Copies of this chain bind each other. A is one copy, B any other.
Amino acid sequence: MNKPERIDKTASTEAVMRAIGESARAAAHELALASTQAKNTALRAAAEALRKAAPDVIAANAKDVAAAKMAGRIDAFVDRLLLEETRIAAIAKGLEEIAELPDPVGTVLAEWTRPNGLKFQRVRVPLGVIGIIYESRPNVTADAGALALKSGNAAILRGGSESHNSSRAIHACLVEGLKAAKLPEAAIQLVPTTDRAAVGHMLAGLDGAIDVIVPRGGKSLVERVQKEARVPVFAHLEGICHTYVDRDADLGMAVRVVLNAKLRRPGICGATETLLVDSGTPPTYLPTLVKALLDGGCEVRGDAEAKKVDKRVKPATQADWSSEYLDAIIAVKVVDGVEAAIEHIAKYGTQHTEAIITANTETAEHFLKAVDSAIVLHNASTQFADGGEFGFGAEIGIATGKMHARGPVGVEQLTTFKYLVRGSGQTRPM
């Protein structure tokens, strides 16, 4: 068993990271063979340890919070950082919920027999080692570590330096869980140094030790990871999500869904940023939608048509069609039917999540087929773009790339597969 705590504290960051990579790789080999029961035992024991250690975690967190306040960080930042009883209880409960999820490893995805008698199986196996680079939310330590473990992967966690004390305290509980289940402690490692060079080493893949990197944080972090990573990345840079209200939409439904899609939580990646309204909708539609948004406290930036509706509407500029506000602001554009909506989305969208509101099934099916996004919805809020809402139990993020994982990244998406072929001495004809 590899003990990450044995790392020489005087060693260079490069040496530290190399050792972490090597022990993660070794742990991944053990984890790939670990039983579902062992993994679940580790998760439940970690939850228990976390509940018991709540005072220590709160004390460690207090140091981070004090430092953040000293550094003049804004309230929202401090709030993301803060841990108290309720939040710690929620993190512990999250660990237990991940234990309850079905184990994806070993699932037979397909099986068939060939005429020569060879029996083929395509079976889910873990990816290997997952690097997670995140910012100030210390709960990511537990969530990401647990999802990696459940899917049989080793995790290398690199949290923001501002939450380092909090993350260390949480990580200690995860390690207690691993010990209780007799799983390698290196299954979930927290990078012990706050040296920023550690991130560079992870992005380079730690000499082939890291199979995939998941960034959790703001746009600048994701941008850096996507640009510099030499290994695959599961991420989305932006969620410029669209809701299109078609000529055949029910107005009541359209208003309800659009308000929810924008204003339920304007700051999540699945929030609608642009509302497209069909020019063929009845004349009451555009004004009703725009006024409902304005009255709901949303800033509306409209094209010429939308501006006519209400003097509170601000003029949209070209930049608005490419803006992820993550705030109570929406861009509104009138388009000539579903084809124009699809074209606008192809041009300005980020292949994250788009919705159509219409009672016309044919129009809806065309939209679902033609829009090239990870998630396409008919008559539902774009805020459903979430692993929990999909029934995945928990997600490590949402990916907008097309390779491997697309959409919410849950435990299944953290696996790959291999082919098992069982024979009775078959050879290929010469």
Contacts and interface: CB of A to CB of B under 8 A. Distances in A.
B426 A381 contact: yes
A120 to B, nearest CB: 6
Contacts of A32: 369-370, 372
A369 B421 contact: no
A292 interface: no
B390 A120 contact: yes
B427 A257 contact: yes
Contacts of A423: 377-380
Nearest to A261: B427
Interface residues of A, number: 60
A416 B351 CA distance: 13
A66 interface: no
Interface string A140-152: 0000000000000
A120 B128 CA distance: 29
Given A424-B379, A427-B256, A428-B381, A369 B114 contact: no
A98 interface: no
A402 B418 CA distance: 9
A11 interface: no
Interface string A393-418: 00000000011101100000000111
Interface string A355-388: 0000000001000111011111111110110000
A379 B416 contact: no
Q: In terms of DSSP, what is the predominant structure of the interface of chain A? A: mixed
A32 B371 CA distance: 10
A266 to B, nearest CB: 12
For this chain, the copies found in one complex come to 2
Given A346-B29, A428-B264, A406 B418 contact: yes
A430 interface: yes
A250 B424 CA distance: 10
Contacts of A403: 127, 211-212, 232, 403-404, 416
Contacts of A418: 372-376, 406-407
A424 B381 CA distance: 10
Given A114-B389, A264-B430, A389-B114, A407 B419 contact: yes
A302 to B, nearest CB: 23
A169 interface: no
B264 A114 contact: no
B33 A370 contact: yes
B384 A428 contact: yes
Interface string A106-150: 000000101000101000010110000000000000000000000
B384 A260 contact: no
11 contacts: A114-B391, A120-B390, A127-B402, A257-B427, A374-B419, A377-B422, A378-B422, A378-B423, A379-B426, A384-B421, A402-B416
Interface of A: 29, 32-33, 112, 114, 118, 120, 125, 127-128, 211-212, 232, 250, 253, 256-257, 259-261, 264, 346, 364, 368-370, 372-381, 383-384, 389-391, 402-404, 406-407, 416-428, 430
